[in-house]
Amino acid sequence: MEQASRSAGTVRPGGRTARVRAAVLEATQDELVEHGFHGLTMDQVAARAGVGKTTVYRRWGSPAGLVTDLMTELADQSSPHADTGSIESDLRVNALAVCEAVNDGRLGATFQAMIAAATCDRQAADALRAFYLRRIEEWAGAVELAVQRGDLPRGTDAMEVIRAVSAPLYYRLVVTREPVTPEVAERSVQRALAAARAGAFIP
């Protein structure tokens, strides 16, 4: 969810189809933030987007279809991994972006709503999992470059390093409900790096 645009509806230019999709995804995110996944209805999204109900039903099928497409769009909009030449700096960019995203009113609420929905809805869980796997895979590239440079040990599991940077932040956000601050982000980077340098991410 790093650096995803706050507004799913304001980015992609294109023709009518793209404009309809942008409006529908924007409305989906608004409804998700305000009412949660279980309060998300096709009719309300259609009304809010100013799009015909039949179009929304035909193209997205269900509320799960809407949030799946929203998560795809948020992943599409997310930044590629950093490549500063230093794994410490790259991971810091990642951790601070997660920190900023989860503290962002709209984006943070979107992800909390999806996390809540995923606890009891299979399709919401699938959409959430797909989003994070894409983001983890993207950022694993930074770790792979560090291994190639010889900055981290050969055989380091790159995706696991990225998961390790994010995990303490999300753990505080949704489990222990403690603040997620830039200091927390920095500590997470330092601990993941210390473990990686010690070879603890070699399977």
Q: Of 56, 65, 72, 1, whose CA–CA distance to 23 is shortest?
A: 56
174 in contact with its own copies (CB under 8 A): yes
123 in contact with its own copies (CB under 8 A): no
33 in contact with its own copies (CB under 8 A): no
170 in contact with its own copies (CB under 8 A): yes
Question: Quick one: 53 or 191, whose CB is closer to its own copies?
Answer: 191
41 in contact with its own copies (CB under 8 A): no
Q: Which helix (H) or strand (E) holds 54?
A: helix 53-60
Which residues are CB-neighbours of 34 under 8 A, at least 6 positions away? none
Q: What are the distances in angstroms from CA 110 to CA 1, 117, 154, 160?
A: 10, 11, 37, 25
Q: Give the residue, chosen from 120, 148, 149, 182, that forms a contact with its own copies under the rule CB under 8 A.
A: 120
Q: Which residue type sits at 153?
A: P
Q: What are the distances in angstroms from CA 125 to CA 71, 130, 142?
A: 11, 9, 27
168 in contact with its own copies (CB under 8 A): yes
- Helices first, then strands: H and E counts in the chain: 9, 0
Q: What sign does the CA torsion over 135, 100, 182, 112 have?
A: negative
- Of the listed pieces 3-11, 20-28, 86-94, 175-183, which binds its own copies according to CB under 8 A? 175-183
CB of 124 to its own copies, least distance (A): 9
18 in contact with its own copies (CB under 8 A): no
Buried b (16+ CB within 10 A) or exposed e, 165-184: bbebbbebbeeeeeebeeeb
Contact (Cβ atoms closer than 8 angstroms) between residue 37 and residue 121? yes
CB of 160 to its own copies, least distance (A): 7
Q: Give the residue, chosen from 5, 112, 123, 153, that forms a contact with its own copies under the rule CB under 8 A.
A: 112
- The residues in 45-104 that bind its own copies, with binding defined as CB under 8 A, are none
22 in contact with its own copies (CB under 8 A): no
The residue count for binding its own copies (CB under 8 A) is: 43
Binding site residues, its own copies, CB under 8 A: 36, 38, 112-113, 115-120, 125-126, 128-129, 132-133, 136, 160, 163-164, 166-168, 170-172, 174-178, 187, 190-195, 197-201
